[in-house]
A and B are shown apart, each in its own frame.
Chain A
Amino acid sequence: GENVEQHPSTLSVQEGDSAVIKCTYSDSASNYFPWYKQELGKRPQLIIDIRSNVGEKKDQRIAVTLNKTAKHFSLHITETQPEDSAVYFCAASIQAGTALIFGKGTTLSVSS
Chain B
Amino acid sequence: SAVISQKPSRDICQRGTSLTIQCQVDSQVTMMFWYRQQPGQSLTLIATANQGSEATYESGFVIDKFPISRPNLTFSTLTVSNMSPEDSSIYLCSVELVALTGAGYTFGSGTRLTVV
Indicate whether A99 sits within 8 Å of B42 (C-beta atoms), given known contacts A34-B105, A43-B92, A44-B107: no
Judging by beta carbons under 8 Å apart, are A49 and B102 in contact?
yes
User: What's the interface size class on B, roughly?
Assistant: 20 to 34
| A-B contact number at CB 8 A | 49
- Hey, what's the 0/1 contact readout for B38-78 against A, CB within 8 Å counting as 1? 00011111001000000000000000000000000000000
CB distance from A32 to the nearest CB of B (A): 8
Q: Can you list 26 residue pairs at the A/B interface with Cβ under 8 Å? A: A34-B105, A43-B107, A43-B108, A43-B109, A43-B110, A44-B43, A44-B107, A46-B106, A49-B102, A49-B104, A93-B105, A96-B96, A96-B99, A96-B100, A97-B96, A99-B31, A99-B33, A99-B94, A100-B33, A100-B43, A100-B94, A100-B105, A102-B42, A104-B41, A105-B41, A105-B42
Which B residues are closer than 8 A to A by beta carbons? 30-31, 33, 41-45, 48, 92, 94, 96, 99-100, 102, 104-110
